[in-house]
Each structure stands twice: as C-alpha cells, then as structure tokens.
Amino acid sequence: MISNLFSSFKDTDTSALRDLREWRTRVLNGILRIIFVLWMFALVGGINNVLQAYRSEGHLYENPVMTAGAVILFYLAATMILAFITFNKNIKFKLRAILLLFVFYALGTIGMALSSFSGDGRIFFFALIILTAVFFDLRYSVTATIFTFLTLVVIGWLQV
C-alpha cells in the first residue's frame, strides 16, 4: 500500500514533461519578443536618463564621462544579447533562458548599485526570480532568490 503511494512520484510521464518544455519554450519566445520591443523604447529613455543624470550629478563621481559611457555601453551590450537570443531560434532553450536571466540580474545589479531602491534594479530582480520559477524548477528558483538576496546585502553594505 505504501509502495503504491510513492510509486506515483517515481513514474515520469514523458508526454507531460514534453508539454511542459514546449510551454516553457513558447512562453520564453513570447516574453523575448515583448521584452525586445519594450527594451528598444527603454534603451532610448535610459540613455537619455544617463546623459541627463551625469550632466546634473557629475560632481558626485570621480569621472562622470567614464561612468556614463560605461553605463551606456552596458545597456548596448544588454541590447545585443537580447537581440541575439530573441532572433536566433537555433540556440537551446536552457541557454536562451539563462542569458535572459543573466541580463535581468546584470541590469538589476547595475540599477541597484547606481540608484539603490529608487531605481529599477529591484524590478529586474523581482522579474529574475519569477522568470526563473517559470523557466526552471524549484531548485533554480530558490538559488536565484538566495543569490539576489546576497547581492542586495552586498550592495546595501557598500552603500552604507
């Protein structure tokens, strides 16, 4: 009787796993398309924001031109990664999802480092955790949550 209870946990329905993989792939494709279109508008606004912020707040940085250039270069690199994984369907699902999550983590880290909780870094971290849960299993989601928490602790410690 007890062996029957646990046997359902051992059996894996290959059609259900295939359906889950197909669903995750469709979700990833849709999210990438939407994010890429929205990112183009955000890129223009972000570059404009960087230029305005470093003109008015340049005295807060040792080398404001270098800092602004590095942030703009980072935004352009994130755009290139997003374009690559959005339009190149030959890349495996896992790599595409990991690269998208990496972009969210990097944007969140830069956002938190530059503007703390007043910026959009926390939104990228939240999206990272949610999308990790959608694209992968619980183990990856918990790891992303812990890693994000540790990043927030380190950034908070550096800013105090």
pLDDT tens figures, 88-144: 989 999 999 999 999 999 999 998 988 776 778 899 999 999 999 999 989 999 999
Calculate the average pLDDT of the chain: 86
State the pLDDT at residue 146. Answer: 96
Asked whether the predicted pLDDT for residue 66 surpasses 90, the reply is no
State the pLDDT at residue 7. Answer: 52
Q: CA distances (Å), 136 to each of 23, 96, 104, 133, in order?
A: 12, 12, 15, 6
State the pLDDT at residue 10. Answer: 54
State the pLDDT at residue 68. Answer: 83
**Residue holding tokens 């944007």?**
107
State the pLDDT at residue 16. Answer: 72
Q: Are 94 and 76 in contact (CB under 8 A)?
A: no
